[in-house]
């Protein structure tokens, strides 16, 4: 009676979380892998000449049990992990790697795909079906399907080991992040935080059995949002030091050896696959195509960003000196004095915005409201449906005519069992072939206030909510035939584009006016404050762009090393890479240092962290299009939905963009947005 053995009977095939127990996962994974391999074997055993219907269709139908259990388990292991999920994830990692290789490296399967690819122009295929053949052939080729048998054996070893060490990296990071949370004894040390933030710190301490004390949990990036508010310079220093210490303290959670091993294994695997570096192998199947194209773009932006950051640094030092501070600006001072300069120059206090950003109102009257204006969709909470955690809420999404779209699940609050950051994932993705529904999930890490206190978001947390919801819309709106193209299954350096577009609605006048109201009085955010926010849009962009580019360039540096290059010191390698890019300013640390760079060493953005700014070129250009064409309207939303969100991965991404925009994207709007002219 394993709940994963058959399709759920709940609305939209929502997994039956109330019935799923720990003992169900492992057998479902093992049965799912065995079932899919049997399905692949049946394809390859056919004596008939390969056709689309006897090869590609059953390939796309295969693995449904494995998909069901994997979607649920990996969502749980990231959002609500424990000793069980950690142990099982580590056990499964090499098994799943071997399973993927058994399919991608199967010579009989590849021969059938290659035969279809060679004759694809002669086959009577619709465009999506033809593209499916092309994608499978490309991906199998890049994965090593054409290698000799002894090389395939070596490749399997690489993939198996990489799956194990990247899983261990993420496990170590979560444990060290929890262990390094800042524990404070006195409320006076929290001076500068709001009452709600102070109560959240007290609540976090109570959850750890530290009644009467205060705990500030760490976020995934280097810079913690509280650094902008804490008046105690010593506490700020301790908070930043804790963040930067993750994975480098020695002991069982130290990630330095794993970083070196992951980089080396990826470089050796790339050489086996015929590439000079891992970055070359990754970008070959992205819109960027080459590491040099990435380097050219990042190299164009880095000098201007570093120059702007140095000018901002001088302004912050002048503020310190004017106050008689008597010290030199340090990294832990940057956010705090940035807010002082922002207030002095633009009369904008980001902390004072929190009362206008109450979570429920932001979600219902901001995020959902913008989606309704653009696409006509509505959201109704389904309190009768159970998700993976009591704090996760389920909403049914419907079209303007009432027809169903899917389910949206949001899990807002931070907890020790949840990995850092914010993300979107799917528990079900639409495809006509399988008749599957859509279930998309957003996870955030907002500190939970004490009982009875409102959840007030920071400016950046509101941006994050709109961003992740953009991914959710992409997953909800894709309409494809084949599972391979479902939802957000697009090129990695394109996937951030729809989410970044959705950020723009946060400050769009009619949206902001609808949700930015004082949580206690209901008064709207004053228009002059809104105007000042807009006027300060490029303020501190030197810092923001520099810390992001530093991480993107660090990711590239680790993955452009060759198989014969020897790296033995993580810190020295980092320092050299950042100095080469001119981004080695000690008061502007990289957004992620290597030992807690989950995106690149565990999260699937290896050699791809450049994707955010690569996609932002399209995003900024799209923002210009919306502004020129009437803004937030149903007509514009329907165009964006049908030509970009709705095609999923079934079309070459830049071709889809040209179909929407009428031309390739221009970089100028990005340069304007970030003040990099």
Phi, psi at 215, each rounded to 5°: -125, 125
Contact criterion met (CB below 8 Å) for 163 and 100: no
Q: How confident is the model at residue 593 (pLDDT cuts 50, 70, 90)?
A: very high
Query: Rounded CA gap, 467 and 457, in Å?
Result: 14
Q: What global pTM score does this model have?
A: 0.95
Residue-wise pLDDT tens digits, 121-130: 999 999 999 9
CA angle (108, 110, 113) in 5-degree steps:
115
Cβ atoms of residues 277 and 294 within 8 Å: no
Query: Is residue 11's pLDDT more than 90?
Result: yes
Does pLDDT of 603 surpass 90?
no
Extract the tokens encoding 336: 């705090």
> Six-digit token pair at 508?
């769009």
φ/ψ bin of 12: left (φ > 0), alpha (ψ from -120 to 50), beta (otherwise): left
Nearest to 314 by CA among 332, 328, 325: 328
Q: Is 296:667 a contact under the CB 8 Å cutoff?
A: no
In angstroms, rounded to a whole number, what is the distance separating the alpha carbons of residues 666 and 140? 33
* Range scoring the smallest mean pLDDT among 148-162, 377-391, 528-542: 528-542
- Name 537's Cβ contacts closer than 8 Å, sequence gap at least 6: 673
**What residue has token string 């009257």?**
365
Identify the band that residue 569 occupies on the pLDDT scale cut at 50, 70 and 90: very high
The token pair at 147 is 């290698």
**Residues 83-96, mean pLDDT to the nearest whole number:** 97
- Go through the chain and tell me how many residues it has: 677
DSSP per position, 218-232 = PPSSSS-GGGGT---
Question: What pLDDT does residue 380 have?
Answer: 98
Q: What is the C-alpha to C-alpha distance for residues 497 and 287, in angstroms, rounded to an integer?
A: 12
Give the sheet arrangement for strand 404-413, strand by strand: 378-381, 392-398, 404-413, 439-446, 423-428
Q: Provide the token pair at 32.
A: 């799912």
List of residues 6+ apart from 405 with CB closer than 8 A = 377, 397, 398, 399, 438, 476, 477
Q: What is the pLDDT of residue 611?
A: 97
Which pLDDT score, from 0 to 100, does residue 441 have?
98
Angstrom distance (rounded) from CA 607 to CA 283: 8
Cβ(104)–Cβ(140) below 8 Å: yes
Q: 205-209: long-range contacts at Cβ-Cβ below 8 A with a sequence spacing of 24 or more?
A: 207/415, 207/416, 208/181, 208/416
Can you give the pLDDT at residue 388? Answer: 97
Residue 350's pLDDT band, with cuts at 50, 70 and 90, is: confident
Q: Would you call 405 helix, strand, or coil by DSSP?
A: strand
Average pLDDT, integer, range 588-599: 98
DSSP for 101-151 reads HHHHT-HHHHHHHHHHHHTTTTS---HHHHHHHHHHHHHHHHTTTTS-HHH
How many secondary structure helices (H) and strands (E) does the chain include? 26, 7
Q: Are 427 and 16 in contact (CB under 8 A)?
A: no
What pLDDT, in 10s, does the model give residues 259-276? Answer: 999 999 999 999 999 999
Q: Which residue has the tokens 């449906």?
A: 385
DSSP 358: B
Strands 439-446 and 404-413: parallel
Question: What is the pLDDT, as a whole number, of residue 446?
Answer: 95
Other CB atoms within a 10 A radius of the CB of residue 281 amount to 23
| Res. 351: pLDDT tops 90 | no
Q: Give dist(CA 61, CA 484) in Å, integer.
A: 10
- Sequence-distant (6+) residues with CB within 8 A of 620 are 669, 670, 672, 673
- Neighbouring CB atoms inside 10 A of 655's CB total 10
CA–chain centroid gap for 481, Å, is 25
Residue 415 has what pLDDT? 94
Residues tagged active-site: 468
Whether the predicted pLDDT of 1 surpasses 90 = no
Query: With bands split at pLDDT 50, 70 and 90, how would you rate the model's confidence at 534?
Result: confident
SS3 of 495, please? Answer: coil
Please give the structure tokens belonging to residue 509. 């006048």
Q: How confident is the model at residue 230 (pLDDT cuts 50, 70, 90)?
A: very high
Kindly state the average pLDDT of the residues 98-103: 98
Nearest Cα neighbor of 390 from 448, 351, 438, 440 is: 448
Q: Return the closest-CA partner of residue 625 out of 646, 645, 639.
A: 639
State mean pLDDT over 492-504: 97
Residues pairing with 184 in the sheet: 214
Strand partners, 397: 379, 406
Q: What is the mean pLDDT of residues 299-306?
A: 96
Q: Which residue in this structure is represented by tokens 């979107």? A: 424
Q: What is the DSSP string of 166-208?
A: HHHHHHHHHHHHHHTPEEES-GGGGBTB-HHHHHHHHHHHHHT
Tell me the average pLDDT of the chain.
97
Distances in Å between the alpha carbon of 412 and those of 376, 422, 428, 457, 471? 25, 9, 20, 11, 16
DSSP 363: I
Predicted local distance difference test score (pLDDT) of residue 677: 81
Which of 227, 226, 454 lies closest to 362, judged by CA?
454
Alpha-carbon distance values, 209 to 205, 212, 230, 239 (Å): 6, 9, 24, 21
Which of helix, strand or coil describes residue 567? coil
Core vs surface per residue 381-396: b (16+ CB within 10 A) or e: ebeebbbbbeebbbbb
Which CA distances in Å does 331 have to 19, 221, 223, 261, 335? 49, 14, 9, 30, 8
Give Cα separations from 373 to 53, 395, 504, 631, 638 (angstroms): 41, 18, 14, 11, 10
pLDDT of residue 652: 96
User: From the CB of residue 286, how many other CB atoms can be counted at a distance below 10 Å?
Assistant: 20
In degrees rounded to 5, what are phi and psi of residue 539?
A: -65, 135
pLDDT at 537: 87
Q: Is the pLDDT of residue 349 over 90?
A: no
Which residue, chain included where needed, has tokens 């790296």? Answer: 567
Helix (H, G, I), strand (E, B) or coil at 339: helix
């Amino acid at each position: 009676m394993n709940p994963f053995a058959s399709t759920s009977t709940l609305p939209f095939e929502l997994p039956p979380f109330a019935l799923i127990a720990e003992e169900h996962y492992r057998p479902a994974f093992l049965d799912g892998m065995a079932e899919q391999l049997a399905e692949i074997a049946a394809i390859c055993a056919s004596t008939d000449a390969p056709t689309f219907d006897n090869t590609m269709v059953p390939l796309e139908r295969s693995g449904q049990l494995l998909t069901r259990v994997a979607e649920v388990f990996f969502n749980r292991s990231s959002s609500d992990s424990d000793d069980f999920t950690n142990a099982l994830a580590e056990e499964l990692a090499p098994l799943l790697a071997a399973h993927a290789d058994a399919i991608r490296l199967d010579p009989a399967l590849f021969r059938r795909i290659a035969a279809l690819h060679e004759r694809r122009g002669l086959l009577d295929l619709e465009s999506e079906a033809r593209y499916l053949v092309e994608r499978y052939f490309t991906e199998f080729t890049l994965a090593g399907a054409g290698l000799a048998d002894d090389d395939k054996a070596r490749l399997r070893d690489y993939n198996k080991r990489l799956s194990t060490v990247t899983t261990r990296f993420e496990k170590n990071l979560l444990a060290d992040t929890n262990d390094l949370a800042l524990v404070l004894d006195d409320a006076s040390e929290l001076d500068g935080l709001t009452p709600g933030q102070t109560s959240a710190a007290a609540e976090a301490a109570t959850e750890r059995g530290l009644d009467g004390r205060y705990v500030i949990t760490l976020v995934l990036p280097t810079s913690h949002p509280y650094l902008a508010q804490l008046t105690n310079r010593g506490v700020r220093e301790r908070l930043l030091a804790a963040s930067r210490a993750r994975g480098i303290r020695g002991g069982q959670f130290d990630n330095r050896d794993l970083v070196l091993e992951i980089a080396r294994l990826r470089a050796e695997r790339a050489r086996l696959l015929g590439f000079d570096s891992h970055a070359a192998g990754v970008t070959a199947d992205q819109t960027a195509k080459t590491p040099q194209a990435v380097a050219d773009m990042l190299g164009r932006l880095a000098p201007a960003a570093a120059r702007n950051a140095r000018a901002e640094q001088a302004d912050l030092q002048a503020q310190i000196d004017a106050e008689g501070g008597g010290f030199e600006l340090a990294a832990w001072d940057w956010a705090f004095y940035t807010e002082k300069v922002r207030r002095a120059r633009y009369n904008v206090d980001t902390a004072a915005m929190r009362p206008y950003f109450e979570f429920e109102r932001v979600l219902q009257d901001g995020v959902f409201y913008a989606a309704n204006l653009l696409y006509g969709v509505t959201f109704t909470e389904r309190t009768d449906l159970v998700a993976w955690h009591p704090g996760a809420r389920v909403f049914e999404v419907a079209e303007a005519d009432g027809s169903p779209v899917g389910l949206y699940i949001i899990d807002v609050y931070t907890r020790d069992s949840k990995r850092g950051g914010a993300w979107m994932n799917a528990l079900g993705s639409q495809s006509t072939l399988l008749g599957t529904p859509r279930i998309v999930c957003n996870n955030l890490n907002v500190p939970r206030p004490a009982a009875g206190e409102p959840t007030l978001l920071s400016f950046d947390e509101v941006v994050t909510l709109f961003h992740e919801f953009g991914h959710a819309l992409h997953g909800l709106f894709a309409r494809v035939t084949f599972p391979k193209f479902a939802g957000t299954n697009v090129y990695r350096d394109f996937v951030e584009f729809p989410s970044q577009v959705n950020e723009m609605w946060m400050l769009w006048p009619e949206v902001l006016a609808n949700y930015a109201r004082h949580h206690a009085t209901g008064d709207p955010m004053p228009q002059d404050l809104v105007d000042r926010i807009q006027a300060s849009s490029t303020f501190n962009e030197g810092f923001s762009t520099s810390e992001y580019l530093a991480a993107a360039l660090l990711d590239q540096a680790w993955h452009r090393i060759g198989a014969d290059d020897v790296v033995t010191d993580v810190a020295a390698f980092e320092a050299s890479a950042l100095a080469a890019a001119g981004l080695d300013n000690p008061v502007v640390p990289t957004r992620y240092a290597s030992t807690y760079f989950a995106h690149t060493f565990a999260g699937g953005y290896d050699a791809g962290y450049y994707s955010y700014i690569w996609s932002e070129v399209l995003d900024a250009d799209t923002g210009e299009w919306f502004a020129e064409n009437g803004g937030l309207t149903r007509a514009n939303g329907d165009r964006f939905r049908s030509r970009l969100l709705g095609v999923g991965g079934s079309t070459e991404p830049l071709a889809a963009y040209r179909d929407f925009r009428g031309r390739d994207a221009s970089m100028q709007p990005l340069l304007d947005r970030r003040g990099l002219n």
